[in-house]
Amino acid sequence: MTKVLIPFDFSEQAQNALQFATNLSAKFENVQITVLHVIEVPASSGMGTMGGGEAIPEYENQMFFIELMDRRKQQFRDMETQYAGNSYGFNTKIVLGNAFQNISSAIQEENPDLVIMGSKGSSGLEEVLIGSNTEKVVRTSHCPVVTVKAAVDPTIFKKIVFASDFREDQDELAHRLKNLQKWFDADLYLVIINTPGSFETTRESAARIKKFAAKYEIEHAVAEIYNSDSEEAGIVEFAEDIDADLIAMATHGRTGLAHLFTGSIAEDVVNHAKRPVWTFKTK
């Protein structure tokens, strides 16, 4: 069984992620979709319990949380009815607390094969200092994450861009990348972004891509070298130039000071790309 987890906040982007997941899952057998909604609770609030056992904040707006919980439960019951009877399994879950912490816990407990999330992207001070829940999940998830912004139909995807420097052995990543290509039945564009700060000849870049493709027996692949001012911009620009359906990347999952000082190319692409992005955290 292929397990898909969808963190869901009822935004337009979350609806797009859900539609992406259900459209894709309808193509396959034995897919189980779990939709997770986190009702955020201020960390400083005290906690009480409702009759159903859920914890709620004990302060003046307590009734608001009770009404919100009831409304979300009804929305999820309606959603389960809407998606019942399809070729895939569908269930929902509501929890209270911090969104990122609960999503991370669900990934650990559910052990999904894929997380699909909506993303608005971020920029400026928010991008540098805070980041979004989606960005944090991309950085820490042990399973692949697909981020979705606009409404797209994954059943007609034909072009996947995989950007890398192809310098390291990437056995697990290559295995998952081949599965991704098989899922979409798409051509794979293996691209190195050549920048002024890390320039190399086309011959050197092409040789590394060819070695990668041969080692991991990747078929229906095209090698590309693309020149740009930065790796992040080059990946987004190349995907736009060939009208790619999906961008695929690895992330090293740095956190804390290492992330603050070095950043993450994958997270920058997730923030700035208009098309869906598949990421996988490598060791």
Using one digit for the tens of pLDDT, what is the confidence trace for 200-210? 899 999 999 99
pLDDT in tens, 154-189: 999 999 999 999 987 788 899 999 989 988 989 999
Q: What is the mean pLDDT of residues 224-229?
A: 95
pLDDT at 132 over 80: no
Q: Which of 155, 109, 127, 84 is nearest to 3 (CA)?
A: 109
Amino acid 216 reads: Y
Residue 168: its pLDDT value, please?
77
Q: Which of 182, 177, 116 is nearest to 149 (CA)?
A: 116
Residue 56: its pLDDT value, please?
52
Ranges of H-type helices in the chain: 12-25, 62-82, 99-110, 124-125, 133-140, 171-184, 202-215, 231-241, 256-262, 265-272
**d(Cα 230, Cα 266) in Å, to the nearest integer?**
13
DSSP for 48-72 reads EE-TTS-EEE-STTHHHHHHHHHHH
Phi, psi torsion values for 236, nearest 5 degrees: -65, -45
